[in-house]
Chains A and B, each alone.
Chain A
Amino acid sequence: MTATPRLPRVLPGFGLSLGFSVSYGSLIVLVPLAAIFIRSAGMPLADFLHAVLAPRVLASYRLSFGLSLLAAAINCVFGLLLAWSLVRYRFPGKKLVDALIDLPFALPTAVAGIALTALYAGNGWIGRYLEPLGIKVAFGPLGILVALVFIGLPFVVRTVQPVLEDLDTELEEAATCLGAHRWQTFRHVILPVLQPALMTGFALAFARAVGEYGSVIFISGNIPMVSEITPLMIMTKLEQFDYAGATAIASVMLVVSFLMLLMINLLQSVGARHHGRNS
């Protein structure tokens, strides 16, 4: 990395701060992650494919990706409603609601896991009303969905909220003057402005949900082929001392992480341009 300043640099510490942050970041983040790819590359192809395409592992991809997409979609709907309520309406306890939106971000995942399990188990506060209806949430795929919705919520609210706050009300006034109904204004004027933020929130919630472990394993029941998530498959392989198998699955997950990060960066740059044009 070479520095090419456009102006003569006045501030000191460029070499020190860049050198330190790049070497520290590489040591702590890049080298360990590189180990996963290098170890996978060293495996015979047949072993690698056997590990990543085993039926139980395939079922875990379907479950992890399917439920993460669904959870992110649910978060988009309710996250938008919450962000809208926080920006547009007055109601008692608004400050408290605003502060607690970040709870899933700050609360340890294991705590969330046992709390959600206690709520949705057959004798829990919510589970006891759902069980007689034949809806079994805890110890099955539905429980995983609940946990993934919980951990993803702040990402959608916190990406949509600032855009909604900066939204120019003149646009809405113009739409109303031109005879648009409130729904038409929302659908054709407000929603297009919010769309990049919503998609970024969706991608962030999805990326977080795919890798999530702590809040899920308590509530999922971990039934093979039914409710095992992909991170749990890595954990199971490790407990059987199958390091090669665990590494192979981890490399698949890492590729997905990289792709998600790339997509989030793209969405954010699109969002920034969109935002800039409107303000």
Chain B
Amino acid sequence: MAALVSHLYAQHDRAALLEGRQATREPRWIKWSILTVALGFFGVFLLLPLAVVFVGALAKGGQVYLDSLRDPDTLSAIWLTLIAAAIAVPLNLVFGIAAAWAIARFEFHGKQLLLTLIDLPFSVSPVVAGLSFVLLFGSHGWFGAWLAAHDIKIIFAVPGIVLATVFVTVSFVARELIPLMQAQGREEEEAAVVLGARGWQVFWHVTLPNIRWALLYGVMISNARAMGEFGAVSVVSGHIRGQTDTLPLQVEVLYNDYNFAAAFSVASLLALLALLTLALKSWVEWRSGRALQAQEPV
């Protein structure tokens, strides 16, 4: 608790310091104008959309809210979303750790290429990502005939949804870990090796404790994005109600049926997940800020 207070003061103090000095402050009316415009924009563009989700969800009362969440199609969408995330997130967690270990701990040719590969899914449109899997595994795709002959369905079925989800969330864990591990350097791990620790011992006892908070946030943001992916999953899902609709697709179905209260009820679940993720991020930043302070010589 004392640490939280001192951290808040540290942040508070910097702004206070800058506001106090003549060289780094603006006239009062400019400060208030900037704050009004910035916070007004924040309110209209971020707070109102968030509020409208929850107001829309509860517009017809708590009973309708609960009933729309208990609808069989919605329940199966929740189930499918959980399955897709439960496969995609661990896979990308392993990839993120492996990529971060290679990039932050070793020098090699083509490092920039691997970094670009990690960034690529961010700048590719989700619709293009979904289409690429259709070209590989769809009925007209490269492996389409072979898959059909062996009675395996990937597109318009669960495996396609999982693949699309893996694609769009591939970079998040790696993106959280790489800058942190680069900043931490490899001295601690090298010391452990010199003292006789084996590879996995180094990872479990030296690396993991240092990266655990960033890793946790990486997993949470991957999870939020995996559960919320719309465009890529929309291409490969085929929209079979109660079978291949994930939660975001179920939101679309309900919305297009003009069943707005139910659409916003399902949307509110995803909004809560997003808020939880952001709360965790703030907490992780506070923890790592504290860890940094603890490391600094007093």
Given contacts A32-B129, A36-B132, A261-B120, contact A4 B108 (CB under 8 A): yes
A45 within 8 A of B: no
Q: Are B267 and A111 in contact (CB under 8 A)?
A: yes
B86 within 8 A of A: no
With both chains docked as a complex, state the minimum distance between the C-beta of A182 and any C-beta of chain B, in angstroms: 5
Q: Which of A21, A150, A169, A260 contacts B98 (CB 8 A)?
A: A21
Q: Are B142 and A11 in contact (CB under 8 A)?
A: no
* Interface of chain A residues 106 through 155 with chain B (CB within 8 A): 106-112, 114-116, 118-119, 124-126, 146, 149-150, 153
Q: Are B123 and A118 in contact (CB under 8 A)?
A: no
With both chains docked as a complex, state the minimum distance between the C-beta of B141 and any C-beta of chain A, in angstroms: 8
A52 within 8 A of B: no
With both chains docked as a complex, state the minimum distance between the C-beta of A48 and any C-beta of chain B, in angstroms: 15
* Interface of chain B residues 7 through 21 with chain A (CB within 8 A): 8, 12, 14-16, 18-19, 21
Q: Are B95 and A207 in contact (CB under 8 A)?
A: no
Q: Are A25 and B49 in contact (CB under 8 A)?
A: no
Q: What per-residue 1/0 map shows which CB atoms of B280-293 lie under 8 Å from chain A?
A: 01100000000000
Give the number of chain B interface residues (Cβ < 8 Å): 117
A6 within 8 A of B: yes
Q: Are B21 and A169 in contact (CB under 8 A)?
A: yes
Secondary structure at the A interface, as helix, strand, loop or mixed, is helix
Given contacts A21-B98, A100-B47, contact A78 B127 (CB under 8 A): no
Q: Are B199 and A13 in contact (CB under 8 A)?
A: yes
Q: Which residues of A contact B122 (CB under 8 A)?
A: 207-208
Q: Which residues of A contact B30 (CB under 8 A)?
A: 182
Q: Are B107 and A25 in contact (CB under 8 A)?
A: no
CA distance A173 to B121 in the complex (A): 43
B263 within 8 A of A: yes
User: Considering only CB atoms, which chain B residue lies closest to A212 in the complex?
Assistant: B125
Please count the residue pairs between chain A and chain B whose beta carbons lie under 8 angstroms apart in the complex: 333
Q: Are B99 and A21 in contact (CB under 8 A)?
A: yes
CA distance A10 to B49 in the complex (A): 52
Binds A, one of B33-41, B64-72, B208-216: B33-41
* Interface of chain B residues 150 through 183 with chain A (CB within 8 A): 163, 166-167, 170, 174
Q: Which of A25, A78, A102, A125 contacts B118 (CB 8 A)?
A: A25
A53 within 8 A of B: no
Q: Which residues of B contact A106 (CB under 8 A)?
A: 221, 224-225, 228, 274-275, 277-278
Q: Which residues of A contact B38 (CB under 8 A)?
A: 78, 81-82, 84-85
Q: Which residues of B contact A218 (CB under 8 A)?
A: 252, 255
With both chains docked as a complex, state the minimum distance between the C-beta of A252 and any C-beta of chain B, in angstroms: 10
Q: Which of B19, B41, B114, B221 contacts A88 (CB 8 A)?
A: B19
Q: Which residues of B contact A32 (CB under 8 A)?
A: 129, 132-133, 135-136, 167
Q: Which residues of B contact A84 (CB under 8 A)?
A: 34, 38
Q: Which residues of B contact A18 (CB under 8 A)?
A: 98, 102, 106, 108, 114
Sample (28) of A-B pairs whose CB atoms are under 8 Å apart = A1-B108, A1-B109, A12-B199, A20-B95, A32-B135, A35-B135, A78-B41, A84-B34, A89-B35, A104-B46, A106-B221, A106-B228, A108-B227, A110-B248, A115-B50, A115-B52, A119-B48, A169-B18, A175-B23, A210-B125, A214-B230, A231-B125, A231-B231, A238-B134, A246-B131, A250-B128, A250-B131, A257-B124
Which 8 pairs between the two chains have the least Cβ-Cβ distance?
Answer: A108-B228, A211-B125, A214-B230, A32-B132, A213-B231, A21-B99, A12-B199, A106-B274
Query: Which A residues contact B (CB, under 8 angstroms)?
Result: 1-6, 9-14, 16-18, 20-22, 24-26, 28-33, 35-36, 39, 78, 81-82, 84-85, 87-91, 95, 97-112, 114-116, 118-119, 124-126, 146, 149-150, 153, 165, 169, 172-173, 175-177, 182, 185, 207-208, 210-214, 218, 230-232, 234-235, 238, 243, 246-247, 250, 253-254, 257-258, 260-261, 264-265
